[in-house]
Every structure is written in C-alpha cells, then in structure tokens.
Structure 1
C-alpha cells in the first residue's frame, strides 16, 4: 500500500495500522495472539493498529516475519515515523491528535497545549540556552501546530490541573505571563478547556513527583506519559494507567473549582500586568 506523497506521518500511521489489522485478521490471530511472539501486549498491538503507537524498525521486521507480509512494514515504517517533534516526545504528540480526551497536571510549567508562542519560546530558550535560532524556531513551529488541536470546538476534551507554581513562576517575564494566563482564561470562558488550579494551600498531594498526562481514545486503550528531561515514554499497562488516573482524580478533588480557578488565574494575570507597567527605577 502506498499513500499519497503529501500524506502526513500521523495519517500514514493510521493507514499502516489498518493494513496491520487486515494482515492480522488474514492470519486468524487475535491482538493478544499476535502480541505474544512480538513480546508486547494485545493492547499494544491495538494501539499500533489504531495509529496511536509507532511501529519501530525492529517491530516492523518482526511483524513482517510473523505475518508473512514480505517486508511491507519495514519499507513503510521509516516514513511513518518521521516527526517534527523532538524524538522523546514525538509519539506522545502524535497520539494527542487521535485522543478523544486528554487529562494533564502541570506541576511547574503551563502544559504545551495551553502555551502561547512567547511562553513556549521562553521555555525552549531556558532549556537550550545555546541553541541557534533555527532550532528554536523549529521547536516553536511544532508547538504552535500542536495547540491547533484546540481549534476543533469540542474534541478532544481537555482537562488540565495547573499547580499554582505554574502560575507564579514568571517564565519569559510579566508580559509573557499576562498574555498566557489571559489565553487560558479565554479558553475557559469559551468552554474549550476545563482548568482547575491546585493551590499552594493544598500542601502535599498525589503527584508530588511531577507532571502527569493521560490520553483516552475511541478505538484503542488509554495511554499515560512518563516524562523526564530529554526523555518521554508512553505506557499502556492497565495497572499503571489506573494508578495515574487515581492520582489525577485526587488532584482534581483537591483543586479549586473551575470558577474559583478562573478568578485566581485572572487575578494573577492582573498582578503580572501591573508589575509590567510599574515605573522602572
């Protein structure tokens, strides 16, 4: 199967995933049965078929051997795995496009889907202070394209818990923070995102280890993202996903209501705006 030349990687993965499903069914195998010789779970096979997981070169080789597909998956996995995103985050960013709901806890930073370009640029520069402008611009372009996910008025459902630390840390300076918090407030008023703030007064909570992200799909098992500096890993283990969902539910239970959160976000934005317009000594 050869897709159109201008097919983007995510769409190509969906088409290859459909071919994988057809090949598996022709072989008379369930997802679980195919997963056994591949040393992965049946849900992992389901995610490859849905296009939410990449088919990496070694996996492509094993698929061709197991299903007798004559090198089809090896030939097509390279183009399907091309991404504009950093390698450690590419799979997660591409899964976002297919998610029906995304639940995220931002511990120290405003999550990427809620970032303005100026805020994102400041984050990239802080993380890579010696990177050339071309590299920063490439990252920024990919981040802006990710945020276009919210151009759809209803899908995905985005529910974010923001730690108060993310509001108070002046990434990029007062004017950048003012604009980003106003952007979040606008998304909330338009009912495009549900945002709750976890206030400092909460004290300890269920995700003191750091940020948290869960993604849910119509036709594939849910995923949770484990992130660390320069690395990221998607997990589909049901026990791990359930544990992270419980942590997220506890965060929501301890956070301010959306109405209270909107009031706090607006107040902090006004504080930054006032700071930005104070006379300089």
Structure 2
C-alpha cells in the first residue's frame, strides 16, 4: 500500500515518515475494499473533520495523536499508521535522543531519574514551552510550538489500555525551581499529583536532605521492551547515550534501586508536591 521509502522522501531519496504517512492514508482511502472513500467519508469513519484529513494528506500541520490508531482500525493495517506516527514524533527530537523516543512506545517498563527538570513524559505544555523557549531564544514561535506538540505526543505512551509500568524519581529541587512562573509551576505540580495517582505509576521525590548517591551526575532512564534486555539512556545538556552493555546496565540499575529506597514514599512524595503547589 502506498509508495516505497525512496519515493516518499522526495528527489534525494531520503525517507520521510511524515510524507509516507500522508501517502499511505491517501492510498488506503482510494483502495478501500468496499470502494474508494472521499475525504469526507473517511473523516466520518475516524471521527474527525474533512479539513483534518486534507491536512494530513498534504503534510500540513500536526497529526492528531488519536488519529493513527483510528486509521489502523478502519483500514486493518496492523499498526502501520501508529508506527509511522512514532517515527514522525521521534524525528522532532534531537538526534541524540531519538533512539530513546523510538524505544518508549515499545517499552513494558520505564524507570526514570531526573535531577534537573520534570521528565518529558510528565511535562505540561506550558512547562515544556518555557523550557524550550529558554533553551533556544532564537527559535520562532512556530518552531517552539512544533516541539511542544512533539513532547505532548510522546506522552501517549502513558495513556491507553496497556501503559508501561512507570517508575520515576524527581529531585526536590525540580519541584522548587520556578519554571515559567507561579501559574505554570502550580499546573505542573498538579499534573504530577495526577500522574502519581495512576496505578501503573510510582512517583517519588528525592529530598534535598538525602545523602550522596550513585546517580548524581545526571538524568537516566531504564527502558525494557518485551523482546530485549533493559537498556539505559543517559542525557546531558546537548548529548545523550544509549547504554546496552549488560554489566553497566546491571550496575546502573542497582544504583536506581538504591535511589528509590532513599527517596520519599509515594504518599510522602505526594504530600510534599501538594504542599509546594498550595504554597506557590
């Protein structure tokens, strides 16, 4: 269905998942087994508007996060549109973090430690916008908006009927740092309380009073997929590394276990977040 990768990428032959998504949508619509569908008919079937289908097929604007799954259902494409959407989302991020973004939707378990900012999977749009705006003052409003949309789309992995087991430890300093102003922080702290109340999420706070631990150098994520051993992603200001050496993964995973044992409990963490939110 649709064209091959070389055709999808334009004259230079570079693969473009966004263009591939558009062509697959148009091709599936025109080759529908019960007869060709026009954009209005398809829009009705996937519960969206004709203008949205038109924009998707002409590569204009973002793809609604819930649309890929609906297209896969209507066209019985076995996750094709979902996979392409994940590739599109990954391409919105810096090269050094794309491998992690590609792994997240496949993960059955994600563990994260963040000593500097709220992890991307838990950020609100205003919080993400404030970080991105400060990180690149020369970026246009549209460029920042595109990155924020990608960050929000990334969070789809925690939604749905079968989200991964998610464990996250956040340094207390992150909660106290005023990113974007009091209103933005109040909304972000409220969002953390909501996330922490999910059955598949364990959210803990590492208090400033905690002693030295083995992960003080930077942020880290542990991702486990159904068919692979765990891998670890570490990230700096402008760099990131995937670690899959078993001995190193085992060492860093143990450091994370020690970290969770040193952090506040789920209930105590929620109490601290609520107190900070009410005081802001």
Q: TM-score range by the shorter chain?
A: 0.5 to 0.7
Residues 168, 203 of structure 2: 8 Å contact kept: yes
Note if 1:222 corresponds to 2:230: yes
Residues 154, 192 of structure 1: 8 Å contact kept: no
**Aligned with residue 195 of structure 1, among 203, 212, 228:** 203
Deviation at 1:119, TM superposition (A): 0.4
Structure-1 residue corresponding to 2:252: 244
Structure-1 residue corresponding to 2:182: 174
Residues 219, 236 of structure 2: 8 Å contact kept: no
The separation in 1 between residues aligned to 2:196 and 2:208, in whole angstroms, is: 21
Structure-2 residue corresponding to 1:139: 147
* Unmatched 5+ stretches in structure 1: 13-79, 273-281
Note if 1:264 corresponds to 2:272: yes
Residues 189, 277 of structure 2: 8 Å contact kept: yes
Structure-2 residue corresponding to 1:33: none
Tell me the C-alpha RMSD between the 2 structures: 2.5
CA-to-partner distance for each residue in 1:131-172, whole Å, 9 max, x for gaps? 111221121111000112111244211100011011011111
Distance 1:8 1:159, change over 3 A: farther
The separation in 1 between residues aligned to 2:275 and 2:16, in whole angstroms, is: 41
Indicate the SS of the match to 1:137. helix
Alignment of 1:15-54 (within 5 A): none
The separation in 2 between residues aligned to 1:104 and 1:252, in whole angstroms, is: 10
CA-to-partner distance for each residue in 1:222-274, whole Å, 9 max, x for gaps? 110121222212121101111110110111010000011111111111111xx
Q: TM-score, normalised by structure 1?
A: 0.67
Distance 1:236 1:149, change over 3 A: same
Residues 206, 247 of structure 1: 8 Å contact kept: yes
